[in-house]
Chains A and B, each alone.
Chain A
Amino acid sequence: MTDTATLRVVIADDSVLLREGLSRLLEESGFEVAGQAGDADDLLRKVGAHKPDVAVVDVRMPPTHTDEGLRAAHRIRADHPDTAVLVLSQYVEEAYALELLSESTERTGYLLKDRVADVDTFTDAVRRVAGGGSALDPEVVALLLGRRRREDPLEALTSREREVLGLMAEGRSNAAIAEALVVTERAVEKHVTSIFSKLDLTPTVEDHRRVLAVLAYLRA
């Protein structure tokens, strides 16, 4: 599976309108929509049948309209390790996101539903999780960074370092961070090293491990 190959997606959302919209948007962006599901059971069935690269899942689905999507996401991660899951949520709820990303950040993402309107961001996130990475919504990251702590080591970070930390938490690679901040990758690496030492974290090169460490730090 590479970026050039057409990625196959299954969409789960109880709103037909949104499902159709998402489907059209993804197809226009070069994805193949292998199936659509209106509830969690349907989703699990279709993921089993089509073995897609990515499942895009709404948190709230019938019958209880609470967190079926999240639970289905866990099942998919457990039963179909090759299928990435991108959860779309109506809420900026860090608890859901962290729950999803706490065990592993591989092939997992949590985005605010509004984000689909920003086609590039959205398709980038789909590609990122399909590629084995993670995606965490910037608003959730902002919330985590904005938490008031009694003795806040985040205050020791420079504003650029905070930006880098945020982008790391979103699941972006050094290259992506460099591109977003318009700096060299070398500069990003320096920032990352500085952040890890200020926060007293063990440096790690692997992207998803790094996200895990950062998120674990931020949620504490």
Chain B
Amino acid sequence: MAVAWIGNREAPVEHAAEHAAALLASSRCPVISFDTDIHGTRAAIALAERVGAAYDHLDGKALALEAALFTDKGGMFVAPGEVRRRADVIVVVGELPEVHHGLVAELAETAPDFSSASGRAFFLIGNAETPTLPLGDTRKAILLLCGADLGATLAALRAQCAGRQVAARVENFDRFVGALAAARFPVFLFSSHTAGGLALEMLQGLIADLNNEGRASALHLPVSESGWGAVLASTWMTGFPPRASFARGFPEFDPWRFDVARMLAGREADCHLWISARESLPLPESNGVPLIVLAKTSKPVTGAEVTIAIGEARVDHDAVVYSARTGSLRSVAARSASQQPSAATVLRLIAGHVAAEAPSPC
């Protein structure tokens, strides 16, 4: 089975990697976008340094919002295991990505063993369009609502909790305050899936207020698990989360300048390396910019100058990934090990063909 192509012609992987390296090395503004495991991310960032590229995760827009909560504000957070064991009130902030619905259902089915409560009360901050939570047939979350905007509802909720006057009251506020008064450890579940930056900041303000007298915290359920893994790896490798660039020979962090999608749309980039083995993702289009694709594919990608087939982390090869279920990195064995190379292996191969004084560090 062919595993690499230069244009539409089959080619040995080594030749395809060499061609990809030549394209990257000869470009003036290369960009890399990826959605891969930790070792793939490390190898992509090491390659970005070598060729002076900007890099971003494929879910970069939503991840940039979540990273900004940390880079700009900080806050109070809790580990998922502690939520399961301790949270007696769960407040879901907006709509959560589907990947986290299993955790919500699990929280609905279990009771906190550190609490005398026999179950958990569920609230949902949202609007009429916000989907109901997967709590089973017999339970329903109490909707906290104040207008259509999530940030406005959180602001009103915070103001009312602090005893301040508000122009419009939050629906079901009294039930919320009653639950808080009885709670020992309320937890707010959030992601940037539907919550914007100001909403997340307001949420942290509310949690800070609640901690003046009692305890409360927030569980971060990232919009993309591989994306949050990339945030962690990028931060330890360069000091910065994505969106970063090595265009000037050293890492720079700028969530607007190094938004790879924007750079491609604005024709700033002159070479694009796209990396993902997720078959559910649409493959990229060239749009006139030389394109190198690392994907789980059995045929060349239309418009790509180089296509190299890679295996999927956790399926074709062992992997280290971020797990929102544990809130940390996890080692996962391959479900169905194959000969397909990992993204990290192919990226190291490409890096090996870019002239440098030292071997790639990842």
Whether chains A and B associate is no
Chain B interface residues (CB < 8 Å from chain A): none
Chain A interface residues (CB < 8 Å from chain B): none
